[in-house]
Structure formats: C-alpha cells, structure tokens
Amino acid sequence: MIIRIINWLGRLTVFFMLLIIPWVIRVFRVATMLVITSVASIFVGSDVAVERMADEWTGRAMSNGVPIEYEDGVHGCAECAAILTIIAGFGVMGLVTVGLLGWIF
C-alpha cells in the first residue's frame, strides 16, 4: 500500500513538473524580452523607442484588418503599451537586481 502511494506521488510530481516547465520557460522569455527592450530604449532614447514600437504595432494592427478610421486610437494605445513595456522591463530588471544582491549579500 505504501509503495503504491509513493509511486502515485512520484508520477503526480512528474506530471505537474511537465505541466509547469513550459510556463516557467515562457515567463522567463517574456521577462528577458522586457529587459532587452528596456535596455535598448536606454541606448536609442525612450521617446524614439516608444515611437518605433508604436509605429510597428500600429502597422501590424492595420495590416490585420483594423479599419483605417481607428488608426489614431490604435496608435495612442500602442504608445501607452510601449511605455508600459519599457516600465515593466525596468521593473523586472530592478527585481532581478535586488534579488541577486540579496542572494549575494
């Protein structure tokens, strides 16, 4: 009976690990892209980076079928999303820095 329970717990652990690992990898990739975007915005200037991202996202939205009369609104939303992306990247970078410093010291 104990062996069956241990075997069942082992299989359950493996199942949950296989279920969780892809999500952990996705979160790590998104966090990495946020940090890369934030660091790139330092070098090119935040206003230039926001404008480039907003133009790219607006162009994608327009090419995917958003009516042309919504272009200004979509561009404004894309600018807000670009600003929030850069801020989120700095937030992730700050959390990683504080975590590493706390781990080291």
Which stretches within 45-70 are classed as H helix? Answer: 46-63
Query: Beta-carbon neighbour count of residue 83 at 10 Å?
Result: 17
What pLDDT does 54 receive? 96
Q: Residues 36-57: pLDDT tens digits?
A: 999 999 999 999 999 999 999 9
Fill in the amino acid letter for 62: M
Structure tokens at 24: 């952990």
Structure tokens at 60: 């994608």
Decide: pTM greater than 0.75: yes
Ranges of each domain in the chain: 2-104
Radius of gyration of the chain from Cα atoms? 21
- Distance between alpha carbon 82 and the CA centroid of its chain, in Å? 12
Task: Give 94 or 1, the one with higher predicted confidence.
Answer: 94
Structural contact between residues 41 and 49, judged by C-beta atoms closer than 8 angstroms? yes
